[in-house]
């Protein structure tokens, strides 16, 4: 365990020591970066236990692969890249279970266009718009009123003169359709969702 009163070597020096198998360097890296990586991951995946597991896996891998990563440009770059990939993998698994889909749908059916939107985001938005047009007309109308105009089930029911139960069923059926579509491109969906959630307050 490193002495907390000992000045911390610069990152580049720590990285070199780690690659040479210095356990004290690893301990210092662990204590310096554990909390930072945890906060980065948990902000996105919203699961403290899973985030802790991911961070532990990152450090286990760091020690096991210490001889292989000497050509990495920076230590922090390596650690946060590992955290991003593991976070995306976690979200991929969640998407396959039908989770997080509504986050994506809500974002891309109600978003404002921005000049900084990534190519991946534009591709996914195009996909969602395309699939929206495939929905039966009544289902599409209900879904648009819910997601784009932010009307409540009761407001939609009154506007279209249909029951609350029908509104809920139409929205659920639309979401099922999008789950199927997004699961076909789960890698793109997970990567985009990771970055979007990271930007949320």
Q: What is the pTM of this model?
A: 0.56
Mean pLDDT of 103-112: 52
Fold agreement (11-93, 101-199): no
Which fold is adopted by the domain 101-199? Arc Repressor Mutant, subunit A (1.10.10)
In contact, 70 and 61? CB cutoff 8 Å? no
pLDDT category at 111 given cuts 50, 70, 90 is: very low
Mean pLDDT of 127-150: 85
157 contact partners, CB below 8 Å, separation of at least 6:
163, 164, 166, 167
Tens of pLDDT along 144-185?
898 778 889 999 999 999 999 999 999 889 888 877 776 665
In contact, 61 and 160? CB cutoff 8 Å? no
Measured from the Cβ of residue 39, the count of other Cβ atoms closer than 10 Å reads 11
For residue 186, what are its two tokens?
């789960």
Which fold is adopted by the domain 11-93? Rna Polymerase Sigma Factor; Chain: A (1.10.1740)
> Smallest Cα–Cα separation from 4: which of 26, 34, 27?
27
For residue 10, the surrounding DSSP H or E stretch is none
**Sequence ranges of the domains in the chain:** 11-93, 101-199
For the cut 80, the answer to whether the pLDDT of residue 18 exceeds it is: yes
């Amino acid at each position: 365990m490193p002495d907390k009163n000992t000045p911390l070597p610069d990152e580049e020096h720590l990285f070199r020591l780690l690659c040479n198998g210095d356990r004290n360097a690893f301990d210092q890296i662990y204590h310096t970066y554990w909390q930072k990586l945890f906060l980065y991951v948990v902000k996105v995946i919203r699961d403290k236990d899973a985030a802790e597991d991911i961070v532990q896996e990152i450090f286990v891998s760091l020690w096991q692969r210490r001889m292989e990563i000497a050509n990495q440009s920076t230590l922090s770059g390596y650690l946060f890249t590992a955290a991003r990939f593991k976070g995306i993998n976690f979200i991929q698994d969640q998407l396959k279970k039908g989770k997080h889909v509504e986050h994506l749908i809500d974002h891309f059916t109600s978003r404002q266009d921005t000049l900084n939107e990534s190519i991946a985001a534009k591709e996914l938005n195009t996909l969602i718009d395309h699939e929206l047009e495939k929905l039966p007309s009544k289902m599409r109308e209900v879904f648009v009123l819910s997601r784009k105009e932010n009307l409540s089930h009761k407001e939609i029911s009154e506007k279209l003169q249909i029951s609350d139960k029908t509104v809920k069923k139409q929205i659920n059926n639309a979401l099922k359709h999008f789950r199927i579509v997004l699961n076909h491109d789960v890698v793109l969906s997970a990567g985009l969702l990771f970055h979007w959630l990271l930007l949320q307050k």
